[in-house]
Amino acid sequence: MEPVIVIGAGLAGSEAAWQLARRGIPVELREMKPQKMSPAHHTEYFAELVCSNSLRSDQLENAVGLLKEELRRCGSLIMACADAHRVEAGGALAVDRNAFAAAITEKIRNHPNITVVEGEVTEIPAEGNVIFATGPLTSENLSQAIGGLFPDSKYLNFFDAAAPLVTFESVDMDSAWFASRYDRGTPDYINCPLSREEYEAFWQELTHAQEAEVHGFEDAGVFEGCMPVEVMARRGLDTLRYGPLKPVGLKDPKTGEEPYAVVQLRKDNAQGSIYNIVGFQTHLRWPEQKRVFSMIPALKNAEYIRYGVMHRNTFLDSPRLLDRYYRVKGQERLMFSGQITGVEGYVESTASGCLTAMELSRRLEGKPPINFPRETAMGAMALYVSDPSVVNFQPMNVNFGLIPQLGYRVKGKRNKNAEISKRALEKLAELDLG
């Protein structure tokens, strides 16, 4: 059997390669790192997390929690490594990013059915089955080649932002405390309070801070799901207090009351030596980040091991171009996975790679497709991405709005979501996932 070419060893590409290889299908995994690095990548590892280290909620009452469980039941490599290298984050699944990526890299490189070929791909392979999993940071050369596949279609891009990382030892714990919101789960977040005067001074400087130059960037073009904190702040004085700095459910043990605003830090590695400033994706100039963020009392002497960065994201007009298996309509040997398809988020990218590979393996084995139903999170996401009735297509995280409702009443939103998840897993159990 000719090997399947998988281009890109991010979350989607690594998952796709694994799913094919474990079914006995040879894979040629092409990855440009370490010969060429994107602006947001820093290591040679596969499946490197370039933004947050959180894979978000791990609860079945949340759609992304359901998607994780579906992936586990499909034998996901990404989920197995995430579970093995998780760090405490309340009800969320966060990972030690380096240990997580190193484990995936080792598994991929040591699999006998996977051959890794390093170097940038700049042209569309002329023959064979190809999965493009080059993600939102697709190189300029390959991006142009992909655009050439669709001369009559929109080929879109937007901008994304990553939050800074600080060392734990540099956080002033006399001005902060450990807790999770409403004291749910374990106290995994460092909470940095601001008084009204401190918050308003911080907001004033943040809204006027100098941004790094990003060609073609405009506030209106920022993807809502990963909006720079300074862009959010400019929308109004209290916008941050109803967003990432909301104090609800966080009582300062020194006063017994909720502060005016709270900045949260989340553990970024298993040792707890590095913390992520939650919700502080930014494209401010690095000196400005240090100056403005140091106005947060607990971060007045913070040591930054990575400043926030801004980078370009690229995605297809998928409803016009792809089918429910993430195949190019009319050119079914070509498939896409990950954020380039318009799915948004680590887990969603993984799921698209998983589904694409599972469906391709069925086709190569002469078996009928699985057709994940809309009642499952994986099926609902694939059907949304390929739905031609979606006119103004934008990247989207998985959510229960994509999944059909139950058809009967259940009291309470969490209970209703739990029932939807239960139904999804029952539907998944009915499928032949081999």
Token representation of residue 223: 């993807």
Q: Would you say 351 is a known binding-site residue? A: no
Ligand-binding annotation for 13, yes or no, is yes
The residue among 191, 208, 291 whose CA lies nearest residue 246 is 191
Report whether 194 belongs to an annotated binding site. no
201 is in an annotated binding site: no
Q: Which pairs with CB-CB distance under 8 Å and at least 24 residues apart come from 331-337?
A: 331/149, 333/128, 333/129, 333/130, 334/124, 334/130, 334/132, 334/149, 335/129, 335/130, 335/131, 335/132, 335/360, 336/131, 336/132, 336/133, 337/12, 337/13, 337/15, 337/16, 337/131, 337/132, 337/133
- The token pair at 218 is 């405009």
Point out which residues pair with 282 in neighbouring strands. Answer: 162
With left for phi above 0 and alpha for psi between -120 and 50, is residue 246 left, alpha or beta? beta
Q: Hunting for tokens 């499952």 — which residue is that? A: 376
**How far apart, in Å, are the Cα atoms of 13 and each of 104, 150, 288?**
11, 22, 36
CB 21: neighbour CB atoms within 10 A? 25
10: annotated binding-site residue? yes
The count of other CB atoms within 10 Å of the CB of residue 248 is 10
Q: Do 361 and 3 meet the contact criterion of CB atoms below 8 Å apart?
A: no
Residue 319: cis peptide before it, omega within 30 degrees of 0: no
8 annotated among ligand-binding-site residues: yes
**Token pair recorded at residue 340:** 């380039």
* Mode of pairing for the β-strands spanning 130-132 and 4-7: parallel
Q: Which residues are annotated as a binding site for FAD?
A: 8-13
Q: Which residues are annotated as a binding site?
A: 8-13
